[in-house]
Chain A
């Protein structure tokens, strides 16, 4: 377990309950504690509806938990911060903004001057393979391209913490692998701390330093698996025996 003091983002005994329209309470999270050490890559995996998105919203400062506390850089997190970037499960693009303008949005909100915005957007268009599409509207993109725009938007602020909610969910297997490697490459050049929700066990093992497994609702972290592979990691890792063993361990924990 990572020491609380060194963690950049730290959740302490989080409980969260929703009240649905008919008044019935739904316990989404039950006693979730986790600590993210600076510069690490953590994957979060768990059955559908177990509260992963809810946990990410809480960690982003968007939702206040019923009980428990989130600390960011040693201070209680009471509202969203620019240094924490959340990439949503849905792409959440503005249909009236072009690809370029959608990616530019966080910089605009942060008051970055236009010339610098241009440079950074151009760079991200390049990394996400969206060059030539900057003047397209979201309605003119495929699902995977829209998701790439959302990823570019999440990265543009050069955040300290990157929370990703199934960012590759809308991508096909091939692009998914490519984007995963791309993400690792981008991540290696930043000092960002990453927490990524995924449904793919092999993706989790391939990308992360540590995989957290959640129980069905109410969500609770039931297993923590460290991934020992060194970086940079190549695609050949997927056939490594340790890799398959780790994947099997995680699969067993989920079921």
Chain B
């Protein structure tokens, strides 16, 4: 009777398979493999196997055994924040330098005496406005209002635009019928018709959501169309050969395949959504960062205008960074095979 051979294969805590005489006996997680090693009287030689406790006997049927090969361990990946830090370290070093340069330039300009304070306000005044508005909570309210408008508009636009984009990409007749009219819709200058939108939808939340949606739907739709059209026909055929349903093709092929384009579109749309909300607020509003700009201008308080503009920039930046982070985590596979 040949001696049973057991092959233990371990890989970074994922799947570990135990092979006995070329047949898989089982797939186990790392702690169980440790138990197995102990059970069959083997030292847990693996560097990642720390526990030496005697565990349950997992495979009583294997009596005389030997571990043939232990695949070498890939280095444990760094925690995500360390990897992230590694990547941006040098840029972080640059940040104080650039910040200081900008700040000093601004201070010099304001203190030069060439410009009145209501043309180039001193950074200290802007800082003071920030503290005031932070203290009375109005800054947070304005930011929250603009965010709510922008994100609601983006959300509604994304739903409609991805659905439209999908049917246009998949069904020729919809492309033929709808595309010219949709381009016509996009050709309307949104900024120019925003007063009309305010007249139609009032000066509350609804009108800003509509404007933000109108400014963001087009990039989302184009991204969807391009993404779905780029789905490899070979992979479609492979899915069909595996008797995949339409839903399975959508879920396992079209969505992951179009994800790079979709996230690219979302990056554009997310910053545009803030623009949309601000434009609506310029025309007519009672709160929001766009309103704050107009309010500051109305009472000739330039520091408030500057503060509001800075806050709009920060909001845009934060939203963009969130999408960029989403992209890094969802599209990590694209780094594969590249130096």
A interface list, Cβ under 8 A from B = 57, 60, 62, 79-82, 85-86, 88, 90, 92, 94-98, 100, 105-106, 108-109, 115, 118-119, 121-123, 125-126, 131-132, 134-140, 157
Q: Are A96 and B337 in contact (CB under 8 A)?
A: no
Q: Are A134 and B252 in contact (CB under 8 A)?
A: no
Complex CA gap A105/B242 in Å reads 9
- Which residues from chain B contact A126 at a C-beta distance below 8 Å? 7, 9, 17, 19, 22, 24
Q: Which of B242, B248, B336 is in CB contact (< 8 Å) with A136?
A: B336
- Give the residue name and chain of the A residue nearest to B26 (CB): A119
Number of residues in B with C-beta < 8 Å to the partner? Answer: 39
Contacts A80-B243, A100-B15 given; does A123 touch B333 at CB 8 Å: no
Q: Are A79 and B337 in contact (CB under 8 A)?
A: no
- Give the residue name and chain of the B residue nearest to A137 (CB): B336
- Which residues from chain A contact B259 at a C-beta distance below 8 Å? 96
Q: Which of B7, B15, B234, B334 is in CB contact (< 8 Å) with A88?
A: B234
- Which residues from chain B contact A105 at a C-beta distance below 8 Å? 242, 252
Contacts A94-B256, A140-B336 given; does A80 touch B242 at CB 8 Å: yes
Q: How far is the CB of A152 from chain B (nearest CB, A)?
A: 13
Q: Are B15 and A92 in contact (CB under 8 A)?
A: no
Complex CA gap A80/B244 in Å reads 9
Q: Are B243 and A81 in contact (CB under 8 A)?
A: yes
B253 at the interface (CB under 8 A from A): yes
B interface list, Cβ under 8 A from A = 7, 9, 11-12, 14-15, 17, 19, 22-24, 26-27, 71-72, 74, 232, 234-235, 237-244, 248, 252-253, 256-257, 259, 331, 333-334, 336-338
Q: How many A-B residue pairs have CB under 8 A?
A: 100
Q: Are B71 and A92 in contact (CB under 8 A)?
A: no
Q: How far is the CB of B314 from chain A (nearest CB, A)?
A: 33
Complex CA gap A81/B243 in Å reads 6
Beyond A79-B243, A118-B27, 5 additional pairs, beta carbon < 8 A: A62-B241, A88-B237, A122-B17, A126-B9, A134-B14
Complex CA gap A131/B7 in Å reads 11
Complex CA gap A135/B244 in Å reads 24
Contacts A80-B240, A105-B252, A119-B26 given; does A96 touch B257 at CB 8 Å: yes
Complex CA gap A207/B237 in Å reads 27
Complex CA gap A40/B235 in Å reads 29
Complex CA gap A95/B238 in Å reads 14
Q: Which of A94, A134, A137, A138 is in CB contact (< 8 Å) with B15?
A: A134
Q: Are B252 and A109 in contact (CB under 8 A)?
A: yes
Complex CA gap A136/B336 in Å reads 8
Q: Are A119 and B256 in contact (CB under 8 A)?
A: no
Complex CA gap A8/B175 in Å reads 43
In the complex, 14 of the A-B residue pairs with CB atoms within 8 angstroms, ordered by the A residue number, are A60-B241, A80-B241, A88-B234, A94-B253, A95-B333, A105-B252, A109-B248, A118-B15, A118-B27, A119-B27, A126-B7, A131-B17, A137-B337, A138-B336
- Which residues from chain A contact B253 at a C-beta distance below 8 Å? 94
Q: Which of A109, A118, A131, A135 is in CB contact (< 8 Å) with B242?
A: A109
Q: Which of A88, A123, A157 is in CB contact (< 8 Å) with B24?
A: A123
Contacts A131-B71, A135-B11 given; does A109 touch B244 at CB 8 Å: yes
- Give the residue name and chain of the B residue nearest to A122 (CB): B17
